[in-house]
Amino acid sequence: MEEVKETTEVRSDGGDGNAPAPTEEKKGASWKERYMRFKANAASNPDSLFLFPFGRTKGASFIFTIVEMGKQINRLKMNAVFLIPMDVVKKEIAKTEKLAEEIWKVTKKYVPSLYDFDRKQWRSLNDSIEEKRILAKRTNTFCIIPRSEEIGQIGMALKVLHKASIELQQDDLARYEAMINDYLKLAESAKALTDELKKTIKEYRKKKDGETA
């Protein structure tokens, strides 16, 4: 197994099945057109998740963080043993599993009907392909294609939380505020973990480069 190299090439699917987050440079018509095509194609994937960001920029940032986390988890696994010790890989993946557990704990707090739900069955809550095709046409949806179970579990939790937030915003503003605060804390935890994953991979690459120099 050879070391997986990072690329800065911008592709309509982000190079790994997920479209890149729109930076200021990518917000033009061409990026939007490519992203809409990506979503249209992704709709037929049974594991694809179509998400609505809530909380405006912060909501979208959480989704982008999850996409980036998925990329880093994939790089960890692909570089296991040959670049990164297996015990380190397992330790980092365990942290993503812990995050998924924490996010679902919050989800069940606001959606009590899912109290006994096993997050490993996240696919059972997903939209049908027909529903996804409709969502893919909407300009305010984001799409991720999980490449690990952890990302699938986290992504579905965000989808469930968004639906619950709409109901709470209409019926219980106090719980809505509490949910948003919990959501933002989870977003911070996800960002910190994603940064840690990046740092771990970077450190081992630097170490290998030093050994081969």
DSSP 127-140: PPHHHHHHHHT-TT
Chain centre distance of CA 185: 16
Quote the pLDDT of residue 7. 32
Tell how strand 142-144 and strand 49-51 pair up: antiparallel
Q: Angle CA(70)–CA(71)–CA(77) in degrees, nearest 5?
A: 90
Quote the pLDDT of residue 58. 78
Quote the pTM value.
0.84
Quote the pLDDT of residue 26. 54
Which parts of the chain sit beneath pLDDT 70? 1-29, 211-213
Quote the pLDDT of residue 174. 97
List, in order, residues 6 or more apart from 211 with CB less than 8 Å away.
none
Quote the pLDDT of residue 212. 61
Quote the pLDDT of residue 54. 80
